[in-house]
């Protein structure tokens, strides 16, 4: 299974114990096993979680509004973190899925449907320096960098936490706003 987790495109692993051949596949995960000599392993997430093939992690959007700190604690309590995005492709995939996760269409997406994600800025950081906490560690890409997914004119000068919406990342005050939140776990 480690081989599949190390591959950016792998969705299914099959192993034939007789031939000792292991095959990785980028096709859709198998939902029904066909009786054969091969053992088939698929990447799967817990119930109510959605697999992001770009980050190879599982996301759950929680439709309960709270501040960033409480959202962070809630994700930690279930063995995860607030969602992080190691690449712009992972973030774009998430933003594309957001209407579905919210149970609505992109056209009907309410403007208050932002979701907390795992980026933050501590008191000692320069205004543009955010960091991921969770599975994607290190700095959050600054506006204009290739892996950045900031909305135009974001981040602003003083807000310390990051929320995601269908059009990109926003910095927001961690306690003054109550948004949905998205937890991330490993498959």
Domain 50-185 adopts which CATH fold? Answer: Mannose-Binding Protein A; Chain A (3.10.100)
In this predicted structure, the answer to whether residue 19 has a pLDDT above a threshold of 70 is: no
Burial label for 184, CB within 10 Å (0-12, 13-18, 19+), is buried
Res. 174 pLDDT band, cuts 50 70 90: very high
Q: What pairing do the DSSP bridges indicate for beta strands 179-185 and 115-120? A: parallel
Between 41 and 68, where is the model more confident?
68
Model confidence, pTM = 0.75
User: What average pLDDT does the segment 59-74 reach?
Assistant: 96
Helices marked H in the chain = 2-6, 68-77, 88-102
pLDDT tens, position by position, 124-169: 666 568 888 877 767 787 777 877 888 988 888 678 999 999 889 9
Lowest mean pLDDT among 23-32, 67-76, 90-99, 112-121: 23-32
Confidence bin at 30 (pLDDT 50/70/90): very low
Structure tokens at 42: 């698929």
Q: Return the domain boundaries, the chain.
A: 2-42, 50-185
Does the pLDDT of residue 84 top 50, yes or no?
A: yes
List Cβ<8 Å contacts ≥24 apart for 93-99: 93/52, 93/53, 93/54, 93/55, 94/52, 94/59, 94/164, 94/182, 95/149, 95/164, 95/165, 95/166, 95/167, 95/168, 97/50, 97/52, 97/59, 98/61, 98/164, 98/165, 98/166, 99/166
Q: Is the pLDDT of residue 96 over 80?
A: yes
pLDDT at site 32: 43
- Sheet of strand 39-42: strand arrangement: 21-25, 12-16, 39-42
């Amino acid at each position: 299974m480690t081989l599949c987790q190390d591959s950016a495109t792998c969705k299914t692993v099959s192993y034939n114990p007789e031939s000792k051949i292991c095959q990785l596949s980028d096709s859709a995960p198998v939902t029904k096993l066909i009786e054969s000599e091969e053992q088939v392993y698929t990447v799967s997430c817990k119930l109510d979680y959605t697999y992001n093939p770009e980050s190879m992690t599982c996301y759950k959007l929680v439709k309960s509004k709270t501040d960033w700190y409480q959202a962070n604690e809630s994700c930690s309590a279930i063995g995860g973190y607030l969602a992080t995005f190691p690449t712009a492709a992972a973030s774009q995939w998430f933003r594309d899925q957001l209407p579905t996760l919210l149970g609505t269409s992109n056209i009907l997406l309410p403007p208050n449907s932002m979701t907390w994600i795992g980026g933050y800025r501590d008191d000692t950081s320069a205004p543009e320096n955010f960091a991921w906490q969770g599975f994607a560690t290190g700095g959050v890409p600054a506006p204009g960098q290739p892996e950045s997914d900031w909305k135009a004119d974001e981040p602003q000068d003083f807000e310390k936490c990051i929320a995601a919406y269908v059009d990109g990342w926003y910095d927001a005050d961690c306690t003054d706003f109550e948004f949905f939140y998205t937890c991330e776990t490993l498959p």
